[in-house]
């Protein structure tokens, strides 16, 4: 995603400590959370290697009490369909990818579908997958920078993925890298169809949650419920068909900027042929920033898809004072004005939802709202059920 600003100074209340400073603290969590210390059953009610729930259950623990100490090693072993990875409390400082593509065809070369990851303590604060690459970070092999997609801590490319009680994070900070202008730093990039997240957290600054698909012509359905997402610039973005149900979005404060806007919550890039983009329902948007310093959304029309027709519906959601109520939408490029996109609201509340300039806040009619539902967006897929 394009950088909104290049001035680099400290940004967040979150005091990230680099892992190189000694396994340290990330995102306000100790490397081994208190719940894990001395815990006789690191996998809670989900069994253990000695009492495996079923042959397709794998156990991950950074302290060595599972089958694997890293998430990626467990993913590599989970060939075929239907595996469950149970993650013991801890901070997993690594990059993870599910689904490898053939560079010649662009198609996935493995089929580890219908995979589930479970945070064993059933508290997402206890299980953290985190790394610190950014768009402009140089690759170790000298082949260039990672780019936005390559910056992702976790990349999920297979269909039927489910996560419960896990934090996905990218703790790269602008202030630590004043020489880098490519400040996009993705916590998770989700590309598979039927991807579901229950009670998860997504932490970062710019481009935190990349809800996308494998290819332009592929429509990927995703579902997020009771999740928490924080960031500043375009921190929920991409072309997926995604439903955010009872989620909490939080905009961060910025000390490097003197004036609004500090950033944008949503930046959908829905393909023109896709009838369903982002749906936010029964959620809330809060802020650490001053009143009105954030826009609710701006449309992203990527250079790779100049026909994109971004779609966002926000309904029955509480918009806090951090959202600019007078002009909640803005352009990423004046060539593609937001008024030409598929942006709409319905029955939102809160100080950020007050309608003072009606033409700046397009509203659904009650008839239109009848199809702006989870069921319509997800079709024949009910999240949480095996196919």
Condensed to tens digits (0 to 9), the pLDDT of residues 276-315 reads 999 999 999 999 999 999 999 999 999 999 999 999 999 9
CB 164 within 8 A of CB 121: no
The DSSP line for 220-239 is -EEEEES-EEEESEEEEEES
Determine contact, residues 210/189, Cβ cutoff 8 Å.
Answer: yes
Going by DSSP bridges, is the β-strand pair 294-297/90-93 parallel, antiparallel, or unpaired? unpaired
The tokens describing 151, both together, are 């910056």
DSSP 29: E
Task: Classify residue 349 by its DSSP letter.
Answer: B
pLDDT (tens digit per residue) in 238-270 = 999 999 999 999 999 999 999 999 999 999 999
Q: Calculate the alpha carbon distances from 296 to 87, 144, 239 in Å.
A: 34, 33, 17
CB atoms within 10 A of CB 356: 9
Tell me how far apart the alpha carbons of residues 375 and 241 are, in angstroms, rounded to a whole number: 12
At residue 173, the pLDDT reads 97
Phi, psi of 231 (to 5 degrees): 170, -165
- DSSP code of 211? E
Could you read off the pLDDT of 106-163 as tens digits, one per residue?
666 666 789 999 999 999 999 999 999 999 999 999 999 999 999 999 999 999 999 9
301, exposed or middle or buried, with CB in 10 Å at 0-12, 13-18, 19+? buried
Percent of the chain with pLDDT over 70: 87
- Which residue would you say has higher pLDDT here, 89 or 107? 89
Q: Is the pLDDT of residue 39 over 50?
A: yes
> Do 208 and 172 form a contact (C-beta atoms < 8 A)?
no
């Amino acid at each position: 995603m394009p950088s909104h600003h290049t001035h680099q100074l400290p940004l967040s209340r979150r005091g990230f400590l680099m892992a190189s400073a000694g396994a340290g603290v990330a995102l306000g969590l100790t490397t081994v959370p208190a719940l894990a210390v001395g815990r006789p059953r690191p996998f809670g009610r989900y069994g253990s290697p000695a009492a495996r729930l079923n042959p397709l259950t794998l156990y991950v623990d950074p302290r060595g009490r599972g089958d694997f100490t890293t998430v990626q090693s467990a993913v590599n072993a989970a060939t075929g369909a239907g595996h469950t990875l149970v993650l013991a409390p801890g901070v997993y400082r690594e990059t993870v990818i599910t689904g490898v593509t053939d560079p010649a065809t662009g198609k996935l070369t493995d089929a580890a579908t219908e995979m589930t990851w479970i945070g064993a303590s059933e508290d997402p604060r206890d299980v953290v997958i985190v790394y610190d690459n950014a768009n402009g970070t140089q690759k170790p092999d000298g082949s260039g920078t990672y780019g936005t997609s390559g910056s992702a801590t976790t990349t999920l490319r297979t269909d039927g993925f489910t996560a419960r009680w896990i934090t996905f994070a990218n703790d790269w900070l602008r202030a630590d890298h004043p020489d880098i202008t490519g400040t996009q730093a993705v916590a998770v990039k989700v590309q598979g169809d039927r991807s579901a997240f229950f009670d998860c957290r997504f932490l970062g600054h710019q481009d935190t949650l990349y809800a996308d698909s494998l290819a332009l012509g592929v429509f990927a359905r995703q579902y997020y419920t009771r999740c928490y997402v924080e960031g500043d610039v375009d921190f929920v973005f991409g072309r997926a068909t995604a439903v955010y149900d009872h989620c909490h979005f939080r905009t961060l404060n910025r000390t490097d900027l003197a004036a609004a806007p500090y950033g944008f919550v949503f930046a959908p890039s829905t393909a023109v042929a896709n009838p369903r983009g982002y749906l936010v329902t029964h959620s809330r948007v809060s802020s650490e920033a001053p009143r009105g310093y954030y826009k609710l959304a701006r449309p992203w029309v990527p250079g790779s898809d100049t026909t994109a027709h971004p779609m966002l519906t926000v309904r029955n959601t509480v918009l806090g004072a951090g959202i600019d109520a007078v002009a909640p939408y803005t352009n990423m490029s004046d060539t593609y004005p937001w008024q030409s996109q598929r942006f709409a609201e319905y029955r939102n509340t809160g100080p950020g939802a007050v309608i003072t300039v009606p033409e700046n806040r397009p509203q659904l009619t009650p008839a239109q709202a009848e199809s702006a539902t989870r069921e319509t967006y997800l079709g024949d897929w009910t999240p949480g059920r095996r196919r």
